[in-house]
Chains A and B, each alone.
Chain A
Amino acid sequence: MRNKQLLHTMFYPKQFSKKRHVIHTLTGRFSKFGYQQVETPVFENYDLYNDVQGTVNTADMLKLIDPSGKVLVLRPDATIPIARHYTNLQEEVATGRLSYVLDIFRSTTEERSRTQAGVELFGERTPEADAELIALAVTSLKELEIPSFKIEIGHAAFYKELLREADLDAMQQKELDQYIQSKNISEIVPFLKDLGLEAALIEKLRKIPMLYGDASFVIDEAENIISSDKMREELDYVSRVYQLLQDYQVDSYISINLGLINHMNYYSGIIFQGFAEGLGQPIMMGGRYDYLTRSFHQETPAIGFAFEVDLLVDLLPGIFTEAEIIQLRYEASERQHAFQLAELFREANQTVIVKAFDKKENRSDSPEILVKSEEIVYSKQKEAAVFKTNQELLDWYFRKDVK
């Protein structure tokens, strides 16, 4: 059904200034929480992903062959390469906090490439670490002024634990995941009955998709389907993370969803995703993956999330007002003077385009400065002013801004 375009979306200047703003805001937030930015290679060995089971579907990766015949892939994920390098990075990054802004390539998305901005926190397996990440995600979205959003929190192992009793094969499990993900309650029961499961277990499984909404309600309801100590532990964990989020004062942005399933099955604990009003896809996804690093020598607990930058760009309200651009013109004799003046403006963070004066040129709405041999003339639409020296003009211009 869906047509795949071959190219990344082209960002025109107005759109791109939004994207720059999103990335700037997110990286600023990440760094204020102590996350240090890294970059992973664009080209990676196909074998890296082929060997780490249950991560990226090998069919979804964009592959290429280098001149020696080795198969490479375009970076299909950020978490896996960062987790792999973390063992080497450990000494440099004692806090275990890393962030990134990277293009991710997969053949499953329409554009085949998308920009993700995210963080990873290594070495801590505590509700405090989980809550820190979720709070970081919420405050980032607030700072971006995304109009209406919610973060859903679930637990990757809660439903899997219940499934253990059912003993399904991979195909059956995939089908059940699909029903639970789409909250397709009317079809879960006949499907499970066909598989010959016990009535009591069916009753528990069909409740999973509705374990959804306010924390107090969900946690109470979930009590009823707990059938092992492991499930109790997991539920307690979710509830401790939620209490921490209350102290962060971000709980109004949180929903609990114990029917949440992430298709990246390296997740082992808390999982979460963010939704914004008017968009069916998650704008953010993340979770705890304590065992992924096991594939790379040393096991380290870890948790991370990623924002979909391109979706956030679409959600940003209104049009961005661009910084004012000064058109600086000069008479032939004043060229050096004009270049100097332009540089003074730029040092003060002002955008300037310099050109030789041309009488025929159309007047625009943007401010113009004409450098003549005896004076400097500033004009903007009907407003005009004349100055003797650079300093007089600069003082006046920046005071005017303040007013």
Chain B
Amino acid sequence: MQPVTIALAKGRPAKQSIDLLEAAGIHFEGFHEKTRKLVFFNKDKTLRLIFLKGMDVPIYVEKGAADIGIVGRDNIIETEADVYEILDLGIGKCKFSVAGKKGVSLPDNQSLTIGTKYPNIAKKFFDKRNQTIETVHLNGSVELAPLIGLADYIVDIVETGNTLHENGLEVLADIETISTKFIVNKASFVTRSKEIQDVLKKLEQVVSEKNANSPL
């Protein structure tokens, strides 16, 4: 039997996800924070953990290269992946916001240029406002775009707002809140139902205990 493959977004959010898996009693052999390995197995080799770039996780899961994904909802919305978004893990909470230079307001009666890593999300938000935008698809240092004059505003993930503040920007409008999700390939959910339900139940347990301990 092939192991069930769990795809995890590598980098900063990985730590919290791993902690959650550990709390659920799911351990991966030889994993430690500084490791550069990308593939791990649990003891009886029924689970395989792979590390991917966040934006690739929903794609791997949609195409069936991974059965399960643990990834920020930002990446799921942006890739428009066709997957089951079964469980909100309650970690990695942040929001999508529109930001611009301090003191500038967000006009609603003119076409705007938006710098962003998430053109689909930006477009959907402004579509709802019946506003046409031109997006500039960036891959990092998005905060720079309004300062240099590449774009009027940016659409990006905001956690604390510190990065914005340090670069002389501020949030002008919130789009939506996001957090880390447990996603499943639609075929795996039926064909490997038992194994997946097993992981899901364990995580559900941990998440609900956590929520009970820290009411929002």
B-contacting residues of A (Cβ < 8 Å)? 1, 148-150, 152, 182-187, 213, 255, 275-282
Residues 60-95 of B at the A interface (beta carbon under 8 Å): 61-64, 78-80, 82-88
Q: Is A277 a contact partner of B80 (Cβ separation < 8 A)?
A: no
Contact of B83 among A149, A182, A277 (CB under 8 A): A182
The tally of CB-CB contacts under 8 A between chains A and B is 60
A150 to B191, CA, bound (A): 6
Name the interface size band of chain B.
20 to 34
A183 to B88, CA, bound (A): 11
Q: Which residues of A contact B80 (CB under 8 A)?
A: 1
Contact of A280 among B62, B86, B181, B193 (CB under 8 A): B62
Q: Is A280 a contact partner of B85 (Cβ separation < 8 A)?
A: no
Q: Is B186 an interface residue (CB 8 A)?
A: yes
The 4 lowest CB-CB distance pairs between A and B, nearest first, are A186-B88, A275-B187, A150-B190, A277-B191
A282 to B82, CA, bound (A): 11
Task: Tell me, rounded to whole Å, the shortest Cβ–Cβ distance linking B8 to chain A.
Answer: 18
Task: Provide a sorted-by-A list of 26 A–B residue pairs whose CB atoms are within 8 angstroms.
Answer: A1-B79, A1-B120, A148-B191, A150-B190, A152-B190, A182-B85, A184-B86, A185-B87, A186-B85, A186-B87, A186-B88, A213-B193, A275-B186, A275-B187, A275-B191, A276-B191, A277-B191, A278-B187, A278-B188, A279-B64, A279-B187, A280-B83, A280-B185, A280-B187, A281-B186, A281-B187
| Given known A-B contacts A1-B120, A186-B88, A281 and B82 have beta carbons under 8 A apart | yes
Q: Is B192 an interface residue (CB 8 A)?
A: yes
A-contacting residues of B (Cβ < 8 Å)? 61-64, 78-80, 82-88, 120, 181, 185-188, 190-193
A340 to B191, CA, bound (A): 54
Task: Tell me, rounded to whole Å, the shortest Cβ–Cβ distance linking A215 to chain B.
Answer: 13
Given A149-B191, A184-B84, A255-B190, 13 further pairs, Cβ under 8 A: A1-B79, A150-B190, A182-B83, A182-B84, A182-B85, A183-B84, A183-B86, A186-B87, A186-B88, A255-B193, A280-B83, A280-B185, A281-B186
Q: Which residues of A contact B78 (CB under 8 A)?
A: 1
Q: Is A280 a contact partner of B186 (Cβ separation < 8 A)?
A: yes
Q: Which residues of A contact B193 (CB under 8 A)?
A: 213, 255
A281 to B187, CA, bound (A): 7
A67 to B181, CA, bound (A): 53
Q: Which residues of B contact A187 (CB under 8 A)?
A: 85, 88
A149 to B187, CA, bound (A): 8
A230 to B85, CA, bound (A): 30
Q: B184's closest neighbor in chain A, by CB?
A: A183
Contact of A275 among B83, B87, B190 (CB under 8 A): B190
Q: Which residues of A contact B63 (CB under 8 A)?
A: 279-280
Task: Tell me, rounded to whole Å, the shortest Cβ–Cβ distance linking A169 to chain B.
Answer: 15
A311 to B188, CA, bound (A): 16
Task: Tell me, rounded to whole Å, the shortest Cβ–Cβ distance linking B5 to chain A.
Answer: 10
A137 to B190, CA, bound (A): 17
Q: A147's closest neighbor in chain B, by CB?
A: B191
Task: Tell me, rounded to whole Å, the shortest Cβ–Cβ distance linking A363 to chain B.
Answer: 42
Query: Which of A1, A187, A280, A281 counts the most B-chain CB atoms under 10 A from its CB?
Result: A280
Q: Which residues of B contact A150 (CB under 8 A)?
A: 190-191
Q: B90's closest neighbor in chain A, by CB?
A: A186
Q: Which residues of B contact A280 (CB under 8 A)?
A: 61-64, 82-83, 185-187
Q: Which residues of B contact A277 (CB under 8 A)?
A: 64, 187-188, 191-192
Task: Tell me, rounded to whole Å, the shortest Cβ–Cβ distance linking B189 to chain A.
Answer: 8
Q: Which residues of B contact A281 (CB under 8 A)?
A: 82, 186-187
Task: Tell me, rounded to whole Å, the shortest Cβ–Cβ distance linking B54 to chain A.
Answer: 14
Task: Tell me, rounded to whole Å, the shortest Cβ–Cβ distance linking B63 to chain A.
Answer: 6
A17 to B106, CA, bound (A): 59
